[in-house]
Amino acid sequence: MILSLLASPACTRLMSGPFPEAKEQRMALTNHPARDYYPSWSPDGRRIAFTSDRSGNGDIWVMDRDGGNLLQLTDDPDYDGFPVYSPDGTQIAFYSTRTGNYDIWVMDADGRNQRRLTQHPGLDLHPSWSPGGDRISFLSDRSGVNSIWIMQSVGGDPEWVTNGDGGVWTPHWSPDGRRIAFESGQSPFSPLALNPDSSSRMGFFQSPNRGQLWVMDLRTGKPSRITSARHHDWSPSWSPDGRILAFVSDRSGNFDLWAVDRRGKRLRQLTRTAANEAIPVWSPDGKFIAYVSDESANLDIWTLAVR
């Protein structure tokens, strides 16, 4: 059931040509006093998994794309967050503190067969599946600075991908499997900056640094900067065709959704609200972006129609 349907101003027209812009249509899929965040589309576009503390602590839930048929997938006294569907839709990767540390886990898409993939005293967060489903990238501080690592989807020893001095955040694998987009800044790693474990909903949008978007070419190991350092740009998400990155930026004065081509040449603002938006994720058909907003004074899951 769609809980609300609101009109939003059209996005700014910074360019011409085939580039995404927001339609006059946004939908709130959840409307609950709890915090709902970290959306992830199923590969068929019919379901959205997300994290919610409506059960008393962070657990993973799933709902239909219109907000109906909510189902709780995990029920653990510790934190489970950041669910991500595998490319074939049969599994969900996530991170959890149920062993006393942040580790990467996977489970069947119905919540069964939950199993731990990483076992390291470092913090392992933000999994992202390779397009083939055989590998998972994730964020970890096991090297002494938060970096991107890649492991087989069944677990095992991971490979260190980034090794710069700046902090790395929110990696996301490109649809062709050749690149990983991420945010990089110069501040120490803190999972609380992107994980709303505090009682304040605004804690979700606070970050200790001003970061930029980068894209790492996995064939050459060469990173390319996509946005400038003057703003805080974060949470990149590839469009299904791999041409565009949706992301979050404070360049408008608060956190809004923006889009940029993968070379950083074209830019467009997608939302213009007084609220804060975060964690954009494209639908498999490229027609919608699911995201998080505090517009209703809670953290809720919304969708934005794009064209």
pLDDT of residue 9: 29
CB 49 within 8 A of CB 85: yes
pLDDT of residue 189: 36
Q: What CATH code is carried by the domain that includes residue 182?
A: 2.120.10.30
> What is the pTM (predicted TM-score) of this model?
0.87
Q: Closest Cα partner for 61 from 111, 112, 127? A: 111
What is the extent of the structural domain holding 67? 4-306
pLDDT of residue 79: 95
Number of domains in the chain: 1
For the CA atoms of the chain, what is the radius of gyration? Answer: 18
pLDDT of residue 4: 25
CB 304 within 8 A of CB 288: yes
| DSSP per-residue codes, 84-106 | EE-TTSSEEEEEE-TTSS-EEEE
- Low-confidence spans in the chain with pLDDT less than 50: 1-17, 186-203, 208
d(CA 49, CA 52): 10
